[in-house]
Structure formats: structure tokens, C-alpha cells
Chains A and B, each alone.
Chain A
Amino acid sequence: MESRLRVLLLISASLLMSGCAHLPNMWPFHRHSSATPTANGPTSATDTAPIVEPEIVRPQIKVPKIRNSNVEFTVSGGLLNTEPEGTYFSGDLRGTYHIKENFFAEASVGVSKLRASSFVNRAGQTQIFTNSQRRVLDYSLDLGYDVLPGEAFFGHNKSFTTAVYVVGGVGALHYAGDSFFAPNVGLGYRLLLSDRIAAHVDVRDAVTVKDLLGQKHLANNIESTIGLSVFF
């Protein structure tokens, strides 16, 4: 009896142990431990860790920033011919932003002063300008386009980048106590003396509607200037 019980216990114990041998593969939370070493080499982390950890310090390369040079400021002077008052010296300040290869936008302000003897004959009433009324102020907002890019050659070895451009836009002209809406068109020539400095020659015509002797008529205000500009 005792030997039968012992045999029965031995059989049940061997069955349990064989079942336990399969448990690691069946139990889902211990799959990582079921990995068996392969013939290709060791797989544990401690075996693959290098003996000396390399200290890699990546150098921070500072890349210089590329400077943009799209903004141009121009100072110019010349002659303004207002119809019918005459021709007078004028000065202009102009800011230009180069949008694309051939396109640019401009904002400009100008000042001029008529002669002390200037007068206006409006609706049959002759009026001598006061000192402040003789000052001519104008501004304009324009778009420009380089129509003829080219080069100018001086001597055998020196050449300059040039461009002939057209501009057009709107503006206002204030003088003689009046303000006038003044759309304008113009033609200019830009000669780059260096990367940052350019010379300009411009002719622009701002057209206004004036009333002389009670009759409205179109009047030209033609300004011819030469100037120097700096690119920023």
C-alpha cells in the first residue's frame, strides 16, 4: 500500500513538474525571460555594454546669418515744375522695399517752395501766397518695375550694374492752401556704385486737377531729380 501510494505521489509529482516546465511559455507576463541564448553570441545588456563609455561632445557650429539687403533709402534733389506757377528747386526722401527680382514698392515725401511773388488766380480772385502757402509738400506711394536691367562700362575694366525702371502710383500734393489727389508715373535710372550705394536719375509727373479762373483742368507737376541711395 505504502509503495503504491509512493508510486502515485511520484507520478503526480513528475506530471506537475513537467507541466511547470511549460508554464513560462504559457504565462504572458514572463515572455521576456523566455528568450534563449542563441549561437550567435551573448544577448544580455551587460555582455554588449562597452568597457569604456565614449564621451561624445558634438560641437555647436554657429552659422552666420545671411544679411538681407532689400531696403533702400534715397535722398534726391532737383527741379519741380508746377503748372502754371513755374519751376523751383525741390528735395525728396524716398524709402524703397525690393519685393522681388524686378518689383519694388516705394514711399516718398518731397518739399519745394515757390517764389515770394507767386500767386494764384482762382475763380477770378487773385491771391498772393502767404509764406506757408508757398511751401509745396507732396508724397506718393508707388510700385516700380525694372524694365531694362543692364550694365554701364567706364573704361576697359570697370563696369556697373544698372537698371531702367518705371514707377506708378498715387499721392497727394499740398500747396497754396489746397490739397490735391495726385496719381503719378515716372521713369528712372539706377546705377549701383557699390553693393550698398546707388545713384539715381528720375523724372516723375504727378497729375492734379486744378481750377484756374473757375475752370477745372489737368495740370502736370513734373519733377526731375538726381539722388544717392543706400541699401540696408
Chain B
Amino acid sequence: MAGSMRRLIDTVAGALVLIVASLVLGTAHAEMSRQFDRDAGRYVEVTVTGPYLEFHTGPGRRYPVFHVVPRGEHVQVLFRRTDWFKVRDERDRQGWVRREQIEQTLMANGETVPLEDPDRRDVDALPWIAGAESGRLAHGWSLDGFVGYSATPRLTLQFEGVHSPSRYYDRFMGLAGIVQTPRPDWRVTPFLEAGGGISVTHANIGSPGMPAARETVGYYGAGLRWAVNNRFEFRIHERSYLLSRASHPNDPNEAMNEWKAGFAFYF
């Protein structure tokens, strides 16, 4: 009788040990199976210090909120698109969080997440700028795209390509110049510009037999920049070009005027 009781106790104890062990191992396996744990150290991990984080379904205010992460929980910041951050919470849910809420989180070292944004007024940011413009050049239309590097908030080195299409010829210009903005802190501010480059013209069907020409060109101009925000602006300006035409010894210089308007953004 005593022997059978001992066997029963041994069996029950063994079963309990097995159940506890399987529970512990299962929990540990479940913990390690989370993507959140597998990606530890790969992404910036932050703790929610504001009231909560709202997860939107897309990178925009008009996408609905589908989940809320409370204060004290951790999230991983996967990547950023404009002012929205794709994040993952401890239960592997993913959503888009706006910048203002990411600013209310802290990293493990107690610092806020470094958000490096280009700012037209920031000396340290030294932002790049790009944009597109269109207007009238001489008697035709003009289109141009440009990229610039702001050495200081007042001084930008600019490289641009200009195309003036017409029935008679296509004019292409590659230009480099400087743009001086005396008051970059003003929302609407004047600017001055000067530079030079190369102009190439190709004949079209409207002017058969016209030879292709390659000329050097210099320009100066002035205009207005309207900063819609710190990253985007509209601009309008007028330029005077002077072309040096080696193929026309009797009339070596040709002057052109251009006005154009467009947009630019910092990145």
C-alpha cells in the first residue's frame, strides 16, 4: 500500500516538473520569437515618456489611429518618411507615429531621439536645396532644375540645367553660380545671383541647316524667395545673360533676359 502511494506521488511530482519546465521553456521560446527581441540593437529603441503614442495606419494625420502604446512601454523606430516614423511595439505591432510624439520619448541613454532636419536658417544644418523653375527666356519658354549647397544660410552654391525648347532650336545651358540671400530669416526675402556656364544650341525642324553652336555664358540676376516653411519655398526672379559667341566675330556678344518662377525644397 505504501509502495503504491509512493509511486503515485513520484508520478504526480514528475508530471508537475514536466509541466513547469514546458511552461518555462515555452515562455522563453515565445519571448525569443518576437521580432522586437530579434531586432534589439538594430534599431533605435525608445521609451514612451509622453502620455501615449498613437499608431496611424499610414504616414499622415488623415490615416486613422488603430493602436495606442501607453507611457513606459518600449518601441523600436524602424525608419522615417517625412515627419512620420514607422515604429514597432513590444508585441510586434507596427504603425506610423508623428514627429511630435517621437519627441516625447527617451532612448536608453536618457536622451531624446536625434532628429536632424534641414532648416534654411540653421548654420549647422548646411542643407542641400533642389528645385525646378519655368519661365520665359528670350522669345521662348525655359525649364530648369537645380541643386544647391548652402555653405552658410546667406550663401548658396548652385548648379543648374536650363532647357529652352522651341520649334527652331533647343538651347541647353549648364550653369554654376552663387546665390546671396541677405536676410535668410525673413519669410519673404530678396536674393542676388551671379554665375556662368556653357550654352549649347541644336537646330530643330524649323531651322534646317542651322549649325549647332557652343557658347560660354555669364549671368546675374535678382529675385524674391518666399519660405512657406523651413523646408519649402517658392521663388521668382529675373536674369540677364551675356553669351560669348566665337562663331560671330562681328557680333561676339549676345544678351538675353529671362524671368522665371518655381519651387525649391531643402533636403
Q: Write the B161-178 contact mask toward A (1 if CB under 8 angstroms, else 0).
A: 001011100100000000
Asked if A55 is an interface residue, CB under 8 A from chain B, the answer is no
Asked if A53 is an interface residue, CB under 8 A from chain B, the answer is no
Are A66 and B44 in contact (CB-based, < 8 A)?
yes
A181 and B231 alpha carbons, distance in the complex (Å):
29
Q: Write the B18-60 contact mask toward A (1 if CB under 8 angstroms, else 0).
A: 0000000000000000000000011110000000000001111
Are B205 and A177 in contact (CB-based, < 8 A)?
yes
Contact A97-B267, Cβ < 8 Å, known A69-B80, A179-B170: yes
A179 and B265 alpha carbons, distance in the complex (Å):
28
Question: Residue on B with the closest CB to A146?
Answer: B60
Which of B8-16, B83-91, B188-196, B213-221 lies at the interface? Answer: B83-91
Size class of the B contact interface (CB-based, 8 Å): 35 or more
A98 and B231 alpha carbons, distance in the complex (Å):
11
A195 and B96 alpha carbons, distance in the complex (Å):
11
Across the interface, which residues of A come within 8 angstroms of B211, CB to CB? none
CB distance from B85 to the nearest CB of A (A): 7
Are A169 and B57 in contact (CB-based, < 8 A)?
no
Contact A172-B132, Cβ < 8 Å, known A66-B113, A107-B145, A181-B141: no
CB distance from B208 to the nearest CB of A (A): 9
Are B132 and A66 in contact (CB-based, < 8 A)?
no
Across the interface, which residues of A come within 8 angstroms of B267, CB to CB? 70, 97, 99
Q: Write the A179-191 contact mask toward B (1 if CB under 8 angstroms, else 0).
A: 1110100000000
Given contacts A99-B82, A149-B58, A172-B143, 12 further A-B contacts (CB under 8 A): A64-B42, A68-B81, A69-B79, A70-B82, A97-B267, A100-B82, A105-B130, A146-B60, A170-B134, A171-B143, A178-B205, A195-B86
Could you pull out 11 A-B pairs where Cβ atoms are within 8 angstroms?
Answer: A63-B44, A63-B114, A66-B43, A67-B80, A70-B82, A100-B232, A107-B145, A151-B64, A179-B167, A181-B143, A231-B81
CB within 8 Å of A: which residues of B? 41-44, 57-64, 77-86, 107-109, 113-114, 130-132, 134, 140-141, 143, 145, 163, 165-167, 170, 204-206, 229, 231-232, 263, 265, 267
CB within 8 Å of B: which residues of A? 61, 63-70, 97-103, 105, 107, 133, 141, 143, 146, 149-151, 159, 161, 163, 169-172, 174, 176-181, 183, 192, 195, 211, 231
